[in-house]
Amino acid sequence: MVKKIYTVLIFLLTFALSFSSNIKNVRFNSFPTQVVFDLDETKPIYISEYDETSRTLFVEVGGVTDHYDKKVTNKLPKYVESIQEYKYDGSHGFFLKLQKNIFHKVSIRKNPNRLVIDLSKSRNIKQYTVVIDPGHGGKDSGAIGIKNVKEKDIVLNIGKYLRDELKEDFNVVMTRDRDEFISLTNRSRIANKKGADIFVSIHANSSNQSSHNGMEIFYFSKKSSPYAASVARYENSFGEKYGENTSSIVQIAGEIAYNKNQEKSIPFASNLTKNLSKTMGMRNRGIHGANFAVLRGVNCPGILIEVGFIKSPKDYSIINSRSHQKKMAKNIAEHIRNYFY
Ligand SMILES: [Zn+2]
């Protein structure tokens, strides 16, 4: 342990010369149980080591130019037996002796910038819930494309690949993981019941003109352009077709949450569409706000991805290929990870 820490120290000191990240505050959260170090840097230099025998977790932040000088050892967080603090030239270290059978996870989070130690009795520490919503299903095939390919099948494949990419790090909930019919109302109900932190609905676009191609992402908005409104109307029409009154799906979040959710959805959608279209070699049709029934009822940031046009030969060859579906899922997963961490 001592030797390890010495090595760590040398490592940190080397970086300390070129970076600075200061601890602004240390807090303990009780639900979920966390020790939080607020930092003034997005990409801090830090290191963490855990010694099983002594049950000691060592965390050190490097590049410290201004030491945090409030004493953090007066009060102990849950699951922690003791804390020892060490200040070195250019770095700040903490030894946390954990109680028996406590698991930990150290991560860097953004907004605000912080280093978080999650502590739990469960080995499986997952903080965020991602709800994946493959559109349509069962009697509702969605749009029909080239060679009679069905939207419901393409989006289910992508959804399942996305789940596989995320399940290690997130609580992943799928509104459907097989070919079954789920009403739009129930999709948002599932998301809210599971406490979704983000909702990702996957669809494929349709147009009678085969020259229309590319991907685009929608977020919920009460106002929309005529184009975005027409896409929302089209997707909502499937709900209506199967007996659902989509206008009865109420927006659950209040005005403040509505603005906040939209504020979070827009940059996420915008980064994703730029990067994903590039990765897939597809046209980027941008992001649009529209009144999608499925997004309206969800009480968290949510997006609806139209992964491509099912009747466009160019898009069809991409979105109907397993390897491309996997590639797409990988890229979406990366953006979801960046959104949270
Ligand atoms: Zn659809």
Q: Average pLDDT for residues 186-197, to the nearest whole number? A: 92
pLDDT confidence of residue 18: 52
Q: Average pLDDT for residues 243-266, to the nearest whole number? A: 87
Q: Average pLDDT for residues 108-113, to the nearest whole number? A: 80
Q: Average pLDDT for residues 231-242, to the nearest whole number? A: 93
* 68-105 tens-digit pLDDT: 888 776 688 889 999 998 888 888 999 999 999 999 99
Q: Are strands 215-220 and 284-290 parallel, antiparallel or unpaired?
A: parallel
Q: Average pLDDT for residues 276-286, to the nearest whole number? A: 98
Collect all residues with Cβ–Cβ distance below 8 Å to 31 and sequence separation of at least 6. none
The alpha carbon of 182 and the centre of ligand 1 are apart by a number of angstroms equal to 13
- CATH code, residues 129-340: 3.40.630.40
Structure tokens at 241: 């077709």
The alpha carbon of 278 and the centre of ligand 1 are apart by a number of angstroms equal to 22
Q: What 3 state SS string does the chain have?
A: CHHHHHHHHHHHHHHHCCCCCCEEEEEEEECCEEEEEEECCCCCCEEEEEECCCCEEEEEEECCCCCCCCCCCCCCCCCEEEEEEEEECCEEEEEEEECCCCEEEEEEECCCCEEEEEEECCCCCCCCEEEEEECCECCECCCECHHHCEHHHHHHHHHHHHHHHHCCCCEEEECCCCCCCCCHHHHHHHHHHCCCCEEEEEEEECCCCCCCCCEEEEEECCCCCHHHHHHHHHHHHHHHHCCCCHHHCCCCCCHHHHHHHHHHHHHHHHHHHHHHHHHHCCCEEEEEEECCHHHHCCCCCEEEEEEEECCCHHHHHHHCCHHHHHHHHHHHHHHHHHHHC
CATH for 2-120, among 2.60.40.3500, 3.20.20.70, 3.50.50.60, 1.10.3720.10?
2.60.40.3500
Nearest to 157 by CA among 131, 128, 132: 132
The alpha carbon of 43 and the centre of ligand 1 are apart by a number of angstroms equal to 38
The alpha carbon of 243 and the centre of ligand 1 are apart by a number of angstroms equal to 16
| 40, 29 contact by CB (below 8 A) | no
> Is residue 239 scored above 70 in pLDDT?
yes
Cis peptide before 32 (omega within 30 of 0): yes
The alpha carbon of 233 and the centre of ligand 1 are apart by a number of angstroms equal to 11
The alpha carbon of 311 and the centre of ligand 1 are apart by a number of angstroms equal to 13
**Residue 254, Cβ neighbours under 10 Å: how many?**
10
The alpha carbon of 184 and the centre of ligand 1 are apart by a number of angstroms equal to 11
The alpha carbon of 306 and the centre of ligand 1 are apart by a number of angstroms equal to 8
Residues bordering ligand 1, an ion, CB closer than 5 Å: 135, 142, 203, 235
The alpha carbon of 86 and the centre of ligand 1 are apart by a number of angstroms equal to 56
The alpha carbon of 232 and the centre of ligand 1 are apart by a number of angstroms equal to 9
- Residue 127 identity (one-letter amino acid): Q
Domain-by-domain residue ranges, the chain?
A: 2-120, 129-340
The alpha carbon of 53 and the centre of ligand 1 are apart by a number of angstroms equal to 54
> Is residue 17 scored above 50 in pLDDT?
no
Q: What is the mean pLDDT of the chain?
A: 90
Long-range pairs for 101-108 at CB < 8 Å and ≥24 separation? 102/55, 104/50, 104/57, 106/46, 106/48, 106/57, 106/59, 107/341, 108/43, 108/44, 108/46, 108/341
The alpha carbon of 191 and the centre of ligand 1 are apart by a number of angstroms equal to 18
> Is residue 257 scored above 90 in pLDDT?
no
The alpha carbon of 337 and the centre of ligand 1 are apart by a number of angstroms equal to 25
The alpha carbon of 101 and the centre of ligand 1 are apart by a number of angstroms equal to 46
The alpha carbon of 137 and the centre of ligand 1 are apart by a number of angstroms equal to 10
The alpha carbon of 115 and the centre of ligand 1 are apart by a number of angstroms equal to 39
pLDDT confidence of residue 272: 97
Q: How far is CA 170 from CA 83, 129, 158, in A?
A: 29, 6, 17
**Distance (Å, whole) CA 45 – CA 64:** 9
The alpha carbon of 203 and the centre of ligand 1 are apart by a number of angstroms equal to 4
The alpha carbon of 305 and the centre of ligand 1 are apart by a number of angstroms equal to 9
Q: How confident is the model at residue 125 (pLDDT cuts 50, 70, 90)?
A: confident
